[in-house]
Amino acid sequence: MLLLAAVALLAGCSKKSSEKKILSFSFYSPAVEAEVLESAKTIVATLPAGTDLTALVPIITVSDKATVNPASGIPQDFTHSKTYIVTAEDGTQAVYTVTVTVENGGNGGGGNNGGGNNGGGDNGEETECTISVVPSPYTGGTVSGDGTYQNGQSCTIKATPATGYAFEKWERVVFPENENDPITYVEVSTEATYTFTVTSSGIYYARFVEVVNYTITVSAYRAEGGTVSGGGDFAPGQSCTITAAPAAGFTFVKWEKSDGTCVSTDASYTFTVTESAHYLAYFSGYYNTDITVITDRCSARCMYYVPEDMNLNWMYPDSGYLVVIVDECDDLDMDMCYIDHILDEDGHRLASFYMGFEGGKQYYRLEDPPYSGTIELTWECL
């Protein structure tokens, strides 16, 4: 029994991986795939003639859960063989040697700060300069404008963010005088399209950042009052316009946030998005209710009314109140007859207020209205 338990325990333990291989090794610009000679732990690549080897950017994939040093995407000087160390999850290591040559059989020359001497002039300056552009991270977007330029020529590099990313800045790689010192990066522009005069070879990183979108939702206070539009996902700082269109017989009152804050009394409201939020459009007018009106004389109905002035202390509920609307009848003189009592379904009298006579209809506001059920009207004529 103990043996079985021990076996089960060992089976449940996850053994750390010892895999430590370089699976692929390529260069971003020029786009060249190197050959990985696994048995010899050697990587070789031949690049086009004239390539500056002093600031190449390798793209490296390694075994799952392994790491590589120097890391993928970090510019390196390949004028001499370069050593890469792969560390497995269990801590064991493998050492690879990378050798890069150019098609003319030699090694590309170079200088500091990414500047190779591609055909030097009398004063030692580069006459042809190599400009490399790299997206960072690689999934953040695409870049263009790299190539070979004459010294003094104008160069335009452009960064286009991928979905879910925003462009942040261009940075130029600065290589140290002492190879033991770290590489540094200098910001040169915050514009996605950057134009400059070429004076030396260089590597430019387009820095992209992930964008956290905010969600704007809109709705109408009871759909019969009108329609709304303009919601969706927006980037921080983006402009958003929400629009309310009242239905026939209704008028727009206000836009209100879910916390009850009135943000606009204009049907079309434009604002800068800084957070996710819900906006509610209120429309003034008469809404249907579930209350049934019983009367032996004229036809009548109970409506839920939202007034244009929504800041009154007798509002019922949610900034409105119940109104009994009595239609004119053939056998009743509306100028001489009025509702005497309004009773709930238990026969109790409900307090009411006569609002007036308009358009052939009488209007009564219920002071203590029910939420549902039936009400009964009794009449008195003068």
**Same-domain check for residues 159 and 191:** yes
pLDDT in tens, 326-381: 887 766 677 778 888 888 888 888 888 888 888 788 888 887 777 778 999 888 87
Q: What are the distances in angstroms from CA 5 to CA 13, 256, 380? A: 13, 63, 91
Does residue 161 belong to any structural domain of this protein?
yes
Residues 262 and 299 both lie in one domain:
no
One domain for residues 293 and 358: yes
Q: Which residue among 81, 102, 123 closes a domain?
A: 102
Q: Confidence band (pLDDT; 50, 70, 90) for 148?
A: confident
pLDDT tens-digit readout, 121-136? 445 567 888 888 888 8
Residues 219 and 265 in one domain: yes
Q: Is 97 within a domain? A: yes
Instruction: Please name the helix (run of DSSP H) or strand (run of DSSP E) that holds residue 277, with its range, or none.
Output: strand 277-288
**Torsion angle defined by CA atoms of residues 134, 138, 139 and 141, in that order, rounded to the nearest 10 degrees:** 0
230 and 265 assigned to the same domain: yes
Q: Please indicate, yes or no, whether residues 117 and 200 belong to a single structural domain of this protein.
A: yes
pLDDT digits over 5-64, tens only?
444 434 444 688 999 999 999 998 888 999 998 887 889 898 998 888 888 989 999 999
Phi, psi of 347 (to 5 degrees): 85, 5
The domain tally of the chain equals: 4
Q: Which domain holds residue 151?
A: 112-210
Whether residues 223 and 254 share a domain: the answer is yes
**How many H helices and E strands in the chain?**
1, 32
Give the amino acid at 198.
Answer: V
Question: Could you tell me if 375 and 309 lie in one domain?
Answer: yes
Beta-carbon count within 10 A of 264 CB: 16
Look at residue 117 and tell me whether its pLDDT is greater than 60.
Answer: no
Domain boundary (210, 227, 259) is at: 210
Domain boundary among 102, 127, 149: 102
Assess if residue 6 is contained within a domain: no
* Domain annotation covers residue 7: no
Does residue 311 lie within any of the structural domains? yes
Confidence label for 118 from pLDDT (cuts 50, 70 and 90): very low
Question: Taking CA 319 as the corner, what is the angle to CA 317 and CA 324, rounded to the nearest 5 degrees?
Answer: 65
pLDDT at 319: 56
**Tally of CB atoms within 10 A around 335:** 11
Domain containing residue 98: CATH number:
2.60.40.2340
Evaluate whether 151 touches 157 at the Cβ level (below 8 Å).
no
**For residue 12, is it within any domain?**
no
Residue 316, pLDDT above cutoff 50: no
Q: Does residue 341 belong to any structural domain of this protein? A: yes
Residue 229 has pLDDT above 60, yes or no: yes
Kindly state whether residues 280 and 299 are assigned to the same domain.
Answer: no
Q: Is residue 92 part of a domain?
A: yes
Tokens of 251: 């008028």
Q: How far is residue 31's CA from residue 84's CA, in Å, rounded to a whole number? A: 20
pTM: 0.50
Query: Do 117 and 202 reside in the same domain of the chain?
Result: yes
pLDDT digit string, tens, across residues 232-284: 998 888 899 999 999 999 999 999 998 889 999 999 999 999 999 999 999 99
Residue 219 and residue 197 share a domain: no
